[in-house]
Amino acid sequence: MNETPRSGRLHIALFGRRNAGKSSLINALTGQELAIVSPVAGTTTDPVYKSMEILPIGPVVLIDTAGLDDEGELGAKRVAKSMAVLAKTDLALLVIDPQQGINRTELELVETIKQKQLPLIGVINKTDLDEVDSDFSGQLPAIPTVKVSARTGRGLTELKQAMVQLAPKDWTAPTIAGDLVPPGELALLVVPIDLAAPKGRLILPQVQTIRDMLDHECLTMVVKERELKAALNKLQKPPALVITDSQVFLKVDADTPPGVPMTSFSILFARYKGDLATLVSGALAVEDLEPGDKVLIAEACTHHRVADDIGTVKIPRWLRQAVGGELDFHWSSGIELPSDLASYKLIVHCGACMINRREMLSRIMAANAAGVPVVNYGVLIAYVLGILRRALGPFPDVLALLDNRI
């Protein structure tokens, strides 16, 4: 847990045609031979992620993509995967080979990136070659450009400076919970020992929340669910906030005095990584589900499933109970959502701890575009257990929206 998780890093994606030098540029920026480089066109076939530090930006992920001019049926699939990377991109680099020049490939990418309102830098590579002309004034739309040589290192300092200047100032997500607990006050975290977590570790959202509390000068106490009542009794005054794992919501709700604010890690991440109000609206769509309806349970990562797994066992069980019959469940794990989102009546998404905020927002927007309500694990669990209003107590604006909908 000593490294910043990938989901907490600025995502910088490199795009361009085959052999423009994207992989070489990543190696030059990192000072390591991280990406495979070859004169053979199409060496990079799938997006490749490289974590590093760029000061003063801090932790970043560089994403190497396949060439946008790839050909054939397989090439079209590679291009589609490259373009899908835009969903998680915070800053885009368009790498240009002066020998190739600029054509419709670059111009269409610039237009797409502009429509997505992403910051973009044009990187004219291979400027160490005397025989090439690196002046593209008038050919490229009005975007900042930097001339570099991935081979000699020329221009890398200027490129990093441009990346610092254009990196979105608000790329980091809102605080997890630091704005909910005054400095010097206590946050009491209820952390069951998750069977899915490696031995000796806590799961990522719990670790990130603890760090967020420390960063905001808050006191933190961590207990298991069986210890909560005893811990509360030993405190001289109630905690400012109780944060629990969603899977022990009912016990924590029963043991936490009514006047003490309570929520869950997953609900905090619904706000931190996505749009809490939209996800709460998605929970209310459970009322419209009928037996036989198609439900997608989407997880952003793959993990070893244990007995009574939340995504494959618990949530389907709770939804069947809420609907009063069987539902047509489908599961999606990994970096892409299914293409047929419109065929689902509800999307239930994980807490998104392994993806960045831009990608989670992109997934929410994709669901909205398909006309499908979307909810995350924690919000759904609070809803089906009948304690959503209390779990939203720390978020009065969202609670007001909930009351207006009910």
> Could you tell me if residue 347 is inside a domain?
yes
> Could you tell me if residue 1 is inside a domain?
no
Does 84 share its domain with 41? yes
CATH code of the domain containing 99: 3.40.50.300
Give the C-alpha separation, 121 to 61, whole Å: 16
176 compared with 50, residue with greater pLDDT: 176
Does 293 share its domain with 349? yes
356 compared with 397, residue with greater pLDDT: 397
Does 252 share its domain with 283? no
> Could you tell me if residue 63 is inside a domain?
yes
> Could you tell me if residue 334 is inside a domain?
yes
Q: Which domain holds residue 224?
A: 186-267
Does 259 share its domain with 156? no
According to the model, what pLDDT value does residue 403 have?
Answer: 82
For the chain, the 3-state helix, strand and coil shares in percent, each to the nearest 5, are 40, 15, 45
CATH code of the domain containing 242: 3.40.50.11420
Q: Are 85 and 113 within 8 A, CB to CB?
A: no
- List, edge to edge, every strand of the sheet that includes 346-349: 328-333, 294-299, 346-349, 374-376
Does 231 share its domain with 290? no
Does 101 share its domain with 148? yes
Count structural domains, the chain: 3
Return the minimum-mean-pLDDT range out of 2-6, 308-312, 318-322, 385-389: 2-6
Q: Are 220 and 208 within 8 A, CB to CB?
A: no
| Domain limit, last residue, from 217, 248, 267 | 267
Smallest CA-to-CA distance from 390 within 243, 184, 206 is with 243
> Could you tell me if residue 251 is inside a domain?
yes
| Domain limit, last residue, from 112, 131, 166 | 166
Does 197 share its domain with 107? no
Does 241 share its domain with 338? no
Give the C-alpha separation, 303 to 196, whole Å: 8
Does 242 share its domain with 208? yes
For the chain, give the percent of residues with pLDDT over 70: 87
Q: What is the pTM of this model?
A: 0.71
Does 253 share its domain with 288? no
Mean of all residue pLDDT scores within the chain: 87
Whether pLDDT at 379 is above 60:
yes
The DSSP-derived string for 260-318 is S-EEEHHHHHHHHHS-HHHHHHHHHGGGG--TT-EEEEEESS-----TT-IIIIIHHHH
> What is residue 226's three-state secondary structure?
helix
Q: Are 65 and 82 within 8 A, CB to CB?
A: yes
Does 31 share its domain with 120? yes
> Could you tell me if residue 74 is inside a domain?
yes
> Could you tell me if residue 366 is inside a domain?
yes
Does 229 share its domain with 368? no
The residues with which 189 forms a beta bridge, in sequence order, are 222, 243
Q: For the segment 188-230, what is each residue's pLDDT rounded down to a tens digit? A: 999 987 655 556 678 889 999 999 999 999 999 999 999 999 9
According to the model, what pLDDT value does residue 300 have?
Answer: 86
